[in-house]
């Protein structure tokens, strides 16, 4: 498990380590330089054959760069340091004085300094950058990005990326490898951050986290952290032992037959006993036998082919472990009334997606505040969350963690906010970030598949909290996507949700074996 910190919480951890644990800031800087040098020496094949150009700023990130430069010089590497801004902080000045070579500062030299055999190390700005770059620095970074080089390594985070929001501050270094110090920064993964930090490697330099705040940090879980969710299946068991997942969706305008069958099929792959696909009776014949393992349940429909609110239909679903509603169902008052009835009468886990969310937005989200016994999971993408929350997309991108936490607490829901990465927040302040997967998921059907996988995960018999089961669903979708691409049969253009579901078992095997 890795923790993800923003600029404020990272600064708190820095200060806690320096002031409370009495580890000098110069010691942390030395540790950082040593860790970066060791990474280069041990991971860059033929590392001594290259020229190294370190770009430094005036603060402590620049100081890290000077330590790296000194370590490289001591081992007879070919290295130069270009001061983008003159050293100012005490620690940066101290380490500049230990670097036994003149520094450079003429931007006209870049064409001669950066060539095919050059490894550029970006140590201009660290996690503290909180304002747009000036014209000089923007032009400097554009120049660096435009020149052909062997590799570009960023120290902590690519300079120009805000470590809290992940937004580009006018311009940003394009980093091949980002060696993030202490803990990963939120801005590495969200918004522009994931584009400008292509590969992230965490280096431990001795910064300690504040024990009392561990629950409040965002967590990135790996396969080992999810193992406890898959308890041993009993030999003396039957379908009823593992319960039923019911998925409600579809309309005459958006039947989405394959998507919905895929949803139900993916929940079966997570081990539920029954997966029931519920759809308007007007779609009779569209879903039948798409997948023989699924139960097909026809609900009352209106003359226009959309679903009709009917208590008798809904009462038959109330014993399900999980009910998921919204995929391709259309926005209507009937959908809203169905959700309201389930909120009042269902006692297990209710997942609301797609048009279920849009119906809440249109007819009134405050029904989520009414007394209920069921746990509720909402799975919006950013635009759907804009409609639900009233915040603009830009506001959400600039402050997604706080706004997500605020919303989850206000409405007592688990919120799965989908974007290029997925943030999962809960009323208990538990937060998870899923960073696996890639652009092949930016297609129709991926969100539907995610809802099906989360439905199956929520039905798992493990005693782990629901929010962690929901995080597992997001992890499995991303990991199955990565495995599918790794086989070489697909690419990011051609891979579809219906292809990804074939590799769901591979992702599960990585966890349970």
pLDDT at site 415? 98
Beta bridge partners of 203: 181
Which two tokens mark 335? 């959908």
Please count the other Cβ atoms lying within 10 Å of the Cβ belonging to residue 487.
10
Task: Domain ranges for the chain, please list them.
Answer: 2-220, 243-512
Which two tokens mark 23? 């580890």
CA atoms within 13 A on the CB side of 225: 16
- Do the beta carbons of residue 32 and residue 17 sit within 8 Å? no
Please count the other Cβ atoms lying within 10 Å of the Cβ belonging to residue 409.
15
Which two tokens mark 31? 């540790």
Alpha carbons 347 and 341: distance in angstroms, whole number: 11
pLDDT at site 339? 98
pLDDT at site 257? 52
* Residue whose C-alpha is closest to residue 456's, from 337, 346, 330, 349: 349
pLDDT at site 284? 73
Dihedral through CA 405, CA 429, CA 378, CA 345, nearest 10? -120
* Residue whose C-alpha is closest to residue 324's, from 344, 302, 309, 346: 346
Q: Would you write out the chain's pLDDT as a tens digit for each of its 513 residues?
A: 999 999 999 999 999 999 999 999 999 999 999 999 999 999 999 999 999 999 999 999 999 999 999 999 999 999 999 999 999 999 999 999 999 999 999 999 999 999 999 999 999 999 999 999 999 999 999 999 999 999 999 999 999 999 999 999 999 999 999 999 999 999 999 999 999 999 999 999 999 999 999 989 999 999 999 999 998 887 877 777 788 999 999 887 777 655 666 777 788 888 888 899 898 888 877 766 567 788 888 999 998 888 999 999 999 999 999 999 999 899 999 999 999 999 999 999 999 999 999 999 999 999 999 999 999 999 999 999 999 999 999 999 999 999 999 999 999 999 999 998 999 999 998 999 999 999 999 988 899 899 999 999 999 988 889 999 999 999 999 999 999 999 999 999 999 998 999 999 999 999 999
Dihedral through CA 36, CA 40, CA 41, CA 43, nearest 10? 120
pTM of this structure: 0.94
Alpha carbons 131 and 137: distance in angstroms, whole number: 12
Largest CA distance in the chain: 83
Dihedral through CA 418, CA 421, CA 426, CA 430, nearest 10? 180
pLDDT at site 256? 66
CATH number, span 243-512: 3.40.1190.20
Strands (E), 224-289: 244-248, 274-280
Coil, strand or helix at 360: helix
Q: Which CATH number fits domain 2-220: 3.30.60.50, 3.30.930.10, 3.40.50.10260, 3.40.50.12280?
A: 3.40.50.10260
pLDDT at site 288? 61
CA atoms within 13 A on the CB side of 366: 1
- Do the beta carbons of residue 377 and residue 350 sit within 8 Å? yes
């Amino acid at each position: 498990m890795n923790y993800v910190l923003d600029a404020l919480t990272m600064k708190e951890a820095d200060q806690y380590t320096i002031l409370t644990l009495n580890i000098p800031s110069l010691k942390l800087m030395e540790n950082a330089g040593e860790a970066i040098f060791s990474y280069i020496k041990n991971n860059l094949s033929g590392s001594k054959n290259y020229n190294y150009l370190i770009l430094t700023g005036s603060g402590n990130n620049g100081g890290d760069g000077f330590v790296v430069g000194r370590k490289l010089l001591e081992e007879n590497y070919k290295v130069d340091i270009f001061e983008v801004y003159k050293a100012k902080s005490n620690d940066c000045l101290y380490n500049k004085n230990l670097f036994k070579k003149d520094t450079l500062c003429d931007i006209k030299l870049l064409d001669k300094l950066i060539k095919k055999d050059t490894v550029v190390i970006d140590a201009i700005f660290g996690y503290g950058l909180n304002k747009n770059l000036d014209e000089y620095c923007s032009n400097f970074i554009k120049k660096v990005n435009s020149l052909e080089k062997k590799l570009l390594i960023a120290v902590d985070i690519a300079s120009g990326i805000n470590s809290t929001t992940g937004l580009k501050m006018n311009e940003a270094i394009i980093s091949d490898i980002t060696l993030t110090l202490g803990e990963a920064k939120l801005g590495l993964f969200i918004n522009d951050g994931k584009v400008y930090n292509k590969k992230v490697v965490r280096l431990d330099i001795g910064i300690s986290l504040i024990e009392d705040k561990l629950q409040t940090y965002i967590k990135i879980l790996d396969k080992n952290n999810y193992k406890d969710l898959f308890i041993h299946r009993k030999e003396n068991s039957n379908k009823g032992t593992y319960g039923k997942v019911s998925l409600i969706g579809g309309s005459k305008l958006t039947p989405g037959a394959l998507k919905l069958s895929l949803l139900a099929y993916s929940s079966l792959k997570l081990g539920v006993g029954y997966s029931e696909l519920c759809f308007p009776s007007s779609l009779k014949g569209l879903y039948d036998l798409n997948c023989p393992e699924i139960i097909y349940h026809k609900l009352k429909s209106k003359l226009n082919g959309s679903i009709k609110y009917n208590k008798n239909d809904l009462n038959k679903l109330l014993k399900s472990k999980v009910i998921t509603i919204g995929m391709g169902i259309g926005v209507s008052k009937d959908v809203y009334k169905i959700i309201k009835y389930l909120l009042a009468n269902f006692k297990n886990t209710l997942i609301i997606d797609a048009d279920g969310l849009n119906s809440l937005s249109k007819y009134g989200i405050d029904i989520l505040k009414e007394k209920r016994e069921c746990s509720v999971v909402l799975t919006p993408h950013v635009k759907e969350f804009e409609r639900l929350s009233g915040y603009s997309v830009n506001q959400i991108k600039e402050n997604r963690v706080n706004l997500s936490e605020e919303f989850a607490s206000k409405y007592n829901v688990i919120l799965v906010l989908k974007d290029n990465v997925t943030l999962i927040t809960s009323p208990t302040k538990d937060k998870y970030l899923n960073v696996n997967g890639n652009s092949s998921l930016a297609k129709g059907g991926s969100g539907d598949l995610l809802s099906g996988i989360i439905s199956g995960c929520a039905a798992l018999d493990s005693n782990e909290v629901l929010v962690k089961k929901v995080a597992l669903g997001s992890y499995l979708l991303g990991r199955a996507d990565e495995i599918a691409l790794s086989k070489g049969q697909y690419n990011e253009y051609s891979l579809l949700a219906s292809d990804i579901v074939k590799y769901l078992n591979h992702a599960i095997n990585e966890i349970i074996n």
